[in-house]
Amino acid sequence: MERFQYLLLMAACLVVTAPLEWVLGARVWRRPRRLAVSLAPAFAFFVAWDLWASATDTWGFDERYTVGLQLPGGMAVEELVFFLVVPICGVLTLEAVRNVLAGTTPVQRRLARRRDPVAA
**Residue 49 lies inside a defined structural domain of this protein:** yes
The domain total for the chain is: 1
Mapped onto helix, strand or coil, the DSSP state of residue 21 is helix
**Residue 120 lies inside a defined structural domain of this protein:** no
Domain range for 13 is 2-115
Q: What pTM, to 2 d.p., does this model score?
A: 0.85
- Residue whose C-alpha is closest to residue 59's, from 70, 69, 49: 49
User: pLDDT tens, 31-60?
Assistant: 999 999 999 999 999 999 999 998 888 888
CA distances from 6 to 3, 56, 85, 94, 107 (A): 7, 23, 12, 24, 34
- Residue whose C-alpha is closest to residue 81's, from 56, 53, 58, 50: 50
**Residue 54 lies inside a defined structural domain of this protein:** yes
User: pLDDT tens, 77-106?
Assistant: 999 999 999 999 999 999 999 999 999 998
In the predicted structure, residue 120 carries a pLDDT above the cut 60:
no
- Are 94 and 22 within 8 A, CB to CB? no
Q: Give dist(CA 51, CA 72) in Å, integer.
A: 9
**Residue 97 lies inside a defined structural domain of this protein:** yes
